[in-house]
């Protein structure tokens, strides 16, 4: 699994450091603008890497995009786990804590940054077909992590024993990604709040 956060190990030629910087800036720009609207030149300028150097680190923009998906997926899976595996909170409070952190993150960047995976999903018609299954797999992974937390909530009797946790986890991510997109469009927390309130209202036993 590709590493995308934290300080990369230094190599004598600086390859790891530069590659990590390109990925970091790529994630930042794609969460704001998407893949099609982000040019390699813009990324290189931000990292201050010569234009001809990009292909020393990545075979193509498509290869760069594929690595960005892996990078973001790895980072976000760790973020999800930091909440849904937090044994100091009840399962439903873990989900609320995840949402609160995500809302704070969007507010911090004035709702200009969304979800890289969600953004790419919106662009799929103009993206390399190879990205499709990668994106589906990322959503499936996130869904499974949330499903396990919902199962814990069911075992703790926070939600009804009749709840289909797999379907509910799928519903969460479908609704949450839509709320993130709308919040970015409106530059407002309102869509996130609406989704959160209705999601938890539906869990009332």
DSSP track, 41-78: HHHHHHHT--GGGHHHH-SSHHHHHHHHHHHHHHHHHH
pLDDT tens digits, residue range 92-131? 999 999 999 999 999 999 999 999 999 999 999 889 999 9
By the 10 Å C-beta count (0-12 exposed, 13-18 middle, 19+ buried), 148 is classed as: middle
User: Which pairs with CB-CB distance under 8 Å and at least 24 residues apart come from 77-82?
Assistant: 77/141, 77/142, 77/145, 80/142, 80/145, 80/146, 81/145
**In the structure, what pLDDT confidence band is assigned to residue 2 with cuts at 50, 70 and 90?**
very low
Structure tokens at 122: 């919106």
Closest CA to 4 of 59, 66, 71, 52: 71
pLDDT tens digits, residue range 169-203? 999 999 999 999 999 999 999 999 999 999 999 98
Average pLDDT, the chain: 90
Backbone angles phi, psi at 156, to 5 degrees: -85, 0
Alpha-carbon span 121 to 86, nearest angstrom: 29
pLDDT tens digits, residue range 46-102? 998 887 778 888 988 899 999 999 999 999 999 999 999 999 999 999 999 999 999
Least confident segment among 18-27, 131-140, 180-189: 18-27
Residue 189: CB partners within 8 Å, gap ≥ 6?
A: 103, 106, 107, 111, 183
Mean pLDDT is highest, among 17-21, 31-35, 66-70, for: 66-70
Q: How far apart are the first and last CA of the chain?
A: 40
The pLDDT of residue 37 is 87
The pLDDT of residue 7 is 32
Task: Please determine, for residue 6, whether its predicted confidence score (pLDDT) is greater than 70.
Answer: no
- Any idea which architecture 61-201 has in CATH? Orthogonal Bundle (1.10)
């Amino acid at each position: 699994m590709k590493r995308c956060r934290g300080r990369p190990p230094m190599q004598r030629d600086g390859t790891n450091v530069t590659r990590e910087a390109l990925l970091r800036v790529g994630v930042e720009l794609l969460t704001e603008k998407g893949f099609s609207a982000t040019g390699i030149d813009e990324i290189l300028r931000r990292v201050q890497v010569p234009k001809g150097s990009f292909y020393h680190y990545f075979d193509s923009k498509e290869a760069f995009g594929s690595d960005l998906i892996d990078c973001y997926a790895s980072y976000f899976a760790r973020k999800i786990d930091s909440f849904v595996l937090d044994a100091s909170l009840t399962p439903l409070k873990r989900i609320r804590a995840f949402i609160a952190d995500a809302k704070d993150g969007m507010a911090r960047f004035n709702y200009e940054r969304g979800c890289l995976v969600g953004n790419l999903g919106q662009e799929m018609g103009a993206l390399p077909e190879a990205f499709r299954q990668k994106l589906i797999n990322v959503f499936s992974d996130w869904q499974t992590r949330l499903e396990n937390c919902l199962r814990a909530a069911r075992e703790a009797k926070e939600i009804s024993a009749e709840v289909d946790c797999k379907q509910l986890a799928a519903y969460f991510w479908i609704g949450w990604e839509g709320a993130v997109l709308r919040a970015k469009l409106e530059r407002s927390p309102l869509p996130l709040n609406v989704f959160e309130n209705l999601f938890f209202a539906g869990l009332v036993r």
